[in-house]
Structure 1
Amino acid sequence: MRKFYIVLFMAGVLAGCVRQEPLKTTERLTVVEGSSVLPPPGRSDLTAADRPALIGPLDTVQVDVFNVPDLSREIQVDASGRIAMPLAGTIDARGKTAEELAATIEAALRAKYVRDPSVTINIKNSVSQVVTIDGQVVEPGLYPVTNQMTLMRVIASAKGLSEFARQNDVVILRTVGERRMAGLYNVAAIRQGAYDDPPVYANDVIVVGDSPQRRLFRDFVSLSPLLAGPLIAILQ
């Protein structure tokens, strides 16, 4: 009898973990069922709004000065966010786009009597534009922020959620101005199409919460193999 009550208790604790609501059509989501086919995306659906790539400390840029090969070179931004090149001198590159840095170098060269300088900047390697993901993912760490990085893409880069992840407790920490902000997200709801996959940006910190219920189930299975069979049968 005692085993029976333990099984019922564990089943109640884990009921929310094993049930999954079916997809439903809402104002934000259209569900195509049965033999219907999803319509193909339009051209505008295949491209998203561009996000400017910013230069930061320790990034590597390629500087090309048209018709002045001696000034063209690959430069690594120093730890303070600056670069140094002949004639142009020391220039603050931190927080600038490639186009903005090119314009700044052109102005510096023009001041040194270089006639009509034309500068092109390419970001060859970016180590400053990264997002941190921690908590219950398979591979926590730092991941580069691509042009259209989102929460689900970061989780996928980290090889997905771990066994003990709490899907409704995912936090994005972000600094806006001088204010520290946090957004709470439900990965399961995003997968169900309840709301959009939120974008993430450089310097965001993502923390995936821990599920005590999943750990309890793991411990229960390991300590009580005889009870685990009836429990699994009930959950199925």
Structure 2
Amino acid sequence: MSITRLLSGLAGALVLASCADAPALVGRPGLTIVSQEHELPPPATVDLISEPRSYVIGPLDRLSVDVYGIAELSRSIQVDPSGRIAMPLIGAMDASGKTPATLGADIARRLGARYVRDPQVTVNLTETVSQVVTVEGAVKTPGLYPVTGRMTLIRAIARAEGTTQYARENYVVVMRRVNNRDMAALYDLRAIRQGMYADPQIYANDIVLVGESSARRVFSDIVSVSPLLAAPLVALLN
């Protein structure tokens, strides 16, 4: 199911919720409103196991960098929270978003430009942060962020350096797999900040989508008149 179809279904239900004499919330094809739920249930253990994928380096990963024949340059390095590493001679450089092979080639290129003749560089992941949340949409730094300790929706968005000036904070969708079922919930950051309901917990493998231009085009009229969402709207994706 596309993000646009998902948001369209949630927004349709939100219109009903915003009316004082609205009937019971109803879904749309492919979207079933879970009326008895006011928050997404936590994932089961099986839902927290990521499918195999080509790994890219992320913040807080630990790397082993080996420069063949030069022990002084070979070392263990931890990627900092901003996704950068620092190496002797070449200084700081971006590592986040690159594969180990790509980063090794970048290090070799920098060393070879001025300092080492034909350097042979190997980069390996020695400690990975496999528990991550994906934050997309109208945030300043979209990406994958490690889930360390207790993470909430507000904290997850803060990890992405907050929302952009164009963000619609009343359209924040969290997608989650629970017992092999795909579920989603619509949140209003303004209502959370005002204490109308609790800042929901975020788990590994969640996808957080902050309303962006495509969502605004579909729901511009709804967003302009809708009140604060007094409770999260939870749906099961069929």
TM-score tier (shorter): 0.3 to 0.5
* TM-score w.r.t. length of structure 1: 0.38
- Which structure has more RCO (C-alpha within 8 Å, separation ≥ 6)? 2
Question: Which structure shows the bigger proportion of residues in helix conformation?
Answer: 1
* TM-score w.r.t. length of structure 2: 0.37
